[in-house]
Amino acid sequence: MIKYTDWGKIGYQEAWDKQEVEFNQHLAKKAIKETYSEPTGRFVICEHPHVYTLGKSGNSANMLLNDELLKKIDATYVKTNRGGDITYHGPGQIVGYPIIDLESLNLQLKEYISKLEDVIIDTIADYGLKGERLDGATGVWLDPANPIKARKICAIGVKASRYVTMHGFALNVNTNLDYFTYINPCGFVDKGVTSLKKELNSEIDINEVKSKIFTNFEKQFNIKLQPSDI
């Protein structure tokens, strides 16, 4: 079964370490060719304190702050092992970490990422927003066809090994978007970043958004999530 958990507010490194434990457990089972009779894994959501993370193929030049300025804005900087370039995580942003064996869902990695995007597209549609894809970039965008107005509302960066996934997505809900001005988000210098709060001009109930994400995850992956306290 696939379990779901809300870790609440948790440090980025602690969340990464917890993901690695479960990720490695899946790999160990696959090494002994253990098979599954049903989809298996865990879907975690959480929020992080202010942190910038750089993907393994990212360009460090897209971080525009030095250590002194990082400290001044109460943020940290972590080089991580997901795909993608640099992004920001912080309070008011929902981060999702599915640690899932894609073979148990009969999915390829490209299909999986597309479904993650669809989960977010469905979720923001409940708030009257039309989420779309941008050619050559992962994530969910608003007005991607308009070079002047194109803005990202959700970043996606995934690691996969032997079809086991970790890391995931970051949806801006009530996020302080000022923190994105200190980086070139996802390596882009000509496109904006937005949030549900900015688009709707109102504070959003983040627990309501989390609930919608879980519901849309079940729909897109055609599964039933089971609650877990771990």
Per-residue model confidence (pLDDT) at position 77: 94
Residue pLDDT, tens place only, 53-99 = 998 888 888 889 889 999 999 999 999 999 888 899 999 999 999 99
Q: What is the predicted pLDDT for the residue at 166?
A: 96
Distance CA 115, CA 108 (A): 11
In this prediction, residue 30 carries a pLDDT of 83
DSSP states of 42-63: EEEEEE-SSEEEE-TT--GGGB
Q: Is 186 a catalytic residue?
A: yes
* Structural tokens at position 19: 């993901």
Quick check: 193 and 152 in contact, CB under 8 A? Answer: yes
What class is the 2-227 domain?
alpha beta
What pLDDT, in 10s, does the model give residues 185-224?
A: 766 666 789 999 999 999 999 999 999 999 999 999 999 9
Of the residues 116, 166, 183, 186, only one is catalytic, namely 186
How do residues 107-151 score in pLDDT, each as one tens digit? 999 999 999 999 999 999 999 999 999 988 889 999 999 989 999
* Radius of gyration, alpha carbons of the chain: 17
pLDDT given for residue 178 in this prediction:
94
Residue 40, pLDDT > 80, answer: yes
What's the pLDDT at 228? 86
What's the confidence (pLDDT) of residue 190? 66
**Which residues sit opposite 89 in a β-bridge?**
51
| Domain definitions of the chain by residue range | 2-227
pLDDT at 147: 87
Examine the pLDDT at 37 and tell me if it is beyond 90: no
How deeply is 52 buried, as exposed, middle or buried, from its count of CB atoms within 10 A (0-12, 13-18, 19+)?
buried
Q: Write down the pLDDT at residue 189.
A: 62
* Across 24-46, average pLDDT: 86
Query: What is the DSSP-derived secondary structure letter of residue 149?
Result: T
